[in-house]
Amino acid sequence: MVSYNIDLKDKTILITGAAGFIGANLAKRLLTEFEHVTIIGIDNITDYYDVRLKHERLNELAAFGKRFRFIKENIANKQAVEHIFDEYHPKIIVNLAAQAGVRYSITNPDSYVESNLVGFYNILEACRNHDVEHLVYASSSSVYGSNKKV
Protein backbone atom coordinates (compact mmCIF):
# COMPACT_ATOMS: atom_id res chain seq x y z
CA MET A 1 0.00 0.00 0.00
CA VAL A 2 1.36 3.38 -0.97
CA SER A 3 1.25 6.07 1.72
CA TYR A 4 0.01 9.46 0.48
CA ASN A 5 1.01 12.83 1.82
CA ILE A 6 -1.90 14.58 0.11
CA ASP A 7 -5.29 14.50 1.79
CA LEU A 8 -7.77 13.50 -0.91
CA LYS A 9 -10.83 13.27 1.30
CA ASP A 10 -13.78 15.20 -0.17
CA LYS A 11 -11.53 16.72 -2.81
CA THR A 12 -12.49 17.50 -6.39
CA ILE A 13 -9.72 16.43 -8.73
CA LEU A 14 -9.54 17.76 -12.27
CA ILE A 15 -7.89 15.39 -14.73
CA THR A 16 -7.24 16.68 -18.24
CA GLY A 17 -6.78 14.03 -20.91
CA ALA A 18 -9.20 11.88 -18.91
CA ALA A 19 -10.05 9.65 -21.88
CA GLY A 20 -6.37 8.99 -22.53
CA PHE A 21 -4.28 6.04 -21.42
CA ILE A 22 -2.88 7.51 -18.21
CA GLY A 23 -5.78 9.87 -17.43
CA ALA A 24 -8.48 7.19 -17.58
CA ASN A 25 -6.44 4.71 -15.55
CA LEU A 26 -5.62 7.35 -12.96
CA ALA A 27 -9.29 8.35 -12.68
CA LYS A 28 -10.34 4.72 -12.26
CA ARG A 29 -7.73 4.07 -9.61
CA LEU A 30 -8.56 7.20 -7.61
CA LEU A 31 -12.29 6.47 -7.76
CA THR A 32 -11.71 2.88 -6.70
CA GLU A 33 -9.27 3.56 -3.86
CA PHE A 34 -10.75 6.76 -2.46
CA GLU A 35 -14.43 6.75 -1.66
CA HIS A 36 -14.64 10.49 -1.09
CA VAL A 37 -13.15 11.97 -4.22
CA THR A 38 -14.97 13.48 -7.16
CA ILE A 39 -13.29 13.64 -10.53
CA ILE A 40 -13.89 16.12 -13.30
CA GLY A 41 -12.41 14.74 -16.51
CA ILE A 42 -11.74 16.92 -19.54
CA ASP A 43 -10.78 15.56 -22.95
CA ASN A 44 -11.48 16.69 -26.51
CA ILE A 45 -11.08 13.12 -27.85
CA THR A 46 -8.40 13.75 -30.46
CA ASP A 47 -8.11 11.16 -33.21
CA TYR A 48 -4.34 10.66 -32.81
CA TYR A 49 -5.28 6.99 -32.26
CA ASP A 50 -8.56 5.05 -32.47
CA VAL A 51 -11.18 7.05 -30.56
CA ARG A 52 -13.16 3.88 -29.79
CA LEU A 53 -10.56 3.13 -27.13
CA LYS A 54 -11.22 6.50 -25.50
CA HIS A 55 -15.00 6.01 -25.57
CA GLU A 56 -14.59 2.56 -24.01
CA ARG A 57 -12.52 4.04 -21.18
CA LEU A 58 -15.15 6.73 -20.60
CA ASN A 59 -17.92 4.13 -20.57
CA GLU A 60 -16.06 2.27 -17.84
CA LEU A 61 -15.71 5.46 -15.82
CA ALA A 62 -19.41 6.25 -16.23
CA ALA A 63 -20.03 3.32 -13.87
CA PHE A 64 -18.86 5.56 -11.01
CA GLY A 65 -21.96 7.72 -11.50
CA LYS A 66 -21.88 11.28 -10.19
CA ARG A 67 -18.36 10.85 -8.82
CA PHE A 68 -16.99 11.09 -12.36
CA ARG A 69 -18.13 13.95 -14.55
CA PHE A 70 -16.86 14.11 -18.11
CA ILE A 71 -16.58 17.34 -20.06
CA LYS A 72 -15.69 17.18 -23.76
CA GLU A 73 -13.59 20.28 -24.12
CA ASN A 74 -10.31 21.57 -25.50
CA ILE A 75 -7.93 22.95 -22.86
CA ALA A 76 -6.73 25.46 -25.47
CA ASN A 77 -10.12 27.15 -24.99
CA LYS A 78 -9.21 29.56 -22.19
CA GLN A 79 -12.77 30.67 -21.47
CA ALA A 80 -13.95 27.09 -21.16
CA VAL A 81 -11.07 26.21 -18.80
CA GLU A 82 -11.81 29.25 -16.61
CA HIS A 83 -15.50 28.34 -16.57
CA ILE A 84 -14.73 24.78 -15.42
CA PHE A 85 -12.51 26.06 -12.59
CA ASP A 86 -15.20 28.58 -11.57
CA GLU A 87 -17.93 25.99 -11.57
CA TYR A 88 -16.22 22.99 -9.93
CA HIS A 89 -13.47 24.57 -7.76
CA PRO A 90 -11.02 21.66 -8.19
CA LYS A 91 -8.32 21.50 -5.51
CA ILE A 92 -6.01 19.10 -7.31
CA ILE A 93 -5.18 19.32 -11.00
CA VAL A 94 -3.54 16.60 -13.05
CA ASN A 95 -2.71 17.84 -16.54
CA LEU A 96 -2.37 14.90 -18.91
CA ALA A 97 -4.09 16.40 -21.96
CA ALA A 98 -1.33 16.57 -24.52
CA GLN A 99 -0.29 15.71 -27.99
CA ALA A 100 2.14 12.87 -27.43
CA GLY A 101 4.70 11.40 -29.81
CA VAL A 102 7.89 12.99 -31.04
CA ARG A 103 7.83 11.95 -34.70
CA TYR A 104 4.22 13.16 -35.20
CA SER A 105 5.34 16.69 -34.23
CA ILE A 106 7.38 16.97 -37.41
CA THR A 107 4.31 16.57 -39.63
CA ASN A 108 1.67 18.04 -37.26
CA PRO A 109 3.30 20.81 -35.21
CA ASP A 110 0.02 22.74 -34.79
CA SER A 111 -1.51 20.20 -32.45
CA TYR A 112 1.53 20.42 -30.12
CA VAL A 113 1.35 24.20 -29.95
CA GLU A 114 -2.39 24.01 -29.26
CA SER A 115 -2.43 21.36 -26.55
CA ASN A 116 1.06 21.34 -25.03
CA LEU A 117 1.75 25.07 -25.08
CA VAL A 118 -1.53 27.03 -25.20
CA GLY A 119 -3.52 24.35 -23.32
CA PHE A 120 -0.91 23.91 -20.61
CA TYR A 121 -0.57 27.69 -20.28
CA ASN A 122 -4.35 27.97 -19.77
CA ILE A 123 -4.18 25.35 -17.01
CA LEU A 124 -1.29 27.18 -15.32
CA GLU A 125 -3.18 30.47 -15.50
CA ALA A 126 -6.35 28.92 -14.10
CA CYS A 127 -4.30 27.43 -11.23
CA ARG A 128 -2.80 30.85 -10.55
CA ASN A 129 -6.24 32.48 -10.46
CA HIS A 130 -7.97 29.88 -8.29
CA ASP A 131 -7.46 28.27 -4.93
CA VAL A 132 -5.60 25.16 -6.11
CA GLU A 133 -3.57 23.00 -3.71
CA HIS A 134 -1.63 20.76 -6.10
CA LEU A 135 -0.77 20.62 -9.78
CA VAL A 136 0.73 17.54 -11.35
CA TYR A 137 1.63 17.36 -15.03
CA ALA A 138 3.28 14.93 -17.39
CA SER A 139 5.74 15.63 -20.09
CA SER A 140 7.26 13.52 -22.83
CA SER A 141 9.37 10.56 -21.79
CA SER A 142 12.03 12.08 -24.05
CA VAL A 143 12.32 15.02 -21.65
CA TYR A 144 13.19 12.81 -18.70
CA GLY A 145 16.63 12.24 -20.18
CA SER A 146 16.59 8.48 -20.65
CA ASN A 147 17.75 8.98 -24.23
CA LYS A 148 21.52 9.52 -24.36
CA LYS A 149 21.50 10.31 -28.08
CA VAL A 150 20.76 13.98 -28.70
Which residues are near ligand NAD by CB under 6 A? 16-17, 19-23, 42-46, 48, 54, 74-76, 96-100, 114-115, 119, 138-141
Which C-beta is closer to ligand NAD: that of 24 or that of 37? 24
Of the chain, the end-to-end C-alpha distance in Å amounts to 38
Q: How far is the CB of 44 from ligand NAD (least distance, A)?
A: 4
- Residue placing its CB nearer to ligand NAD in the complex, 9 or 122: 122
What distances in angstroms separate CA 123 from CA 7, 37, 118, 147, one per listed residue?
A: 22, 21, 9, 28
Nearer to ligand NAD by C-beta: 61 or 98? Answer: 98
CB of 87 to ligand NAD, least distance (A): 17
Task: Give the C-alpha separation, 145 to 50, whole Å.
Answer: 29
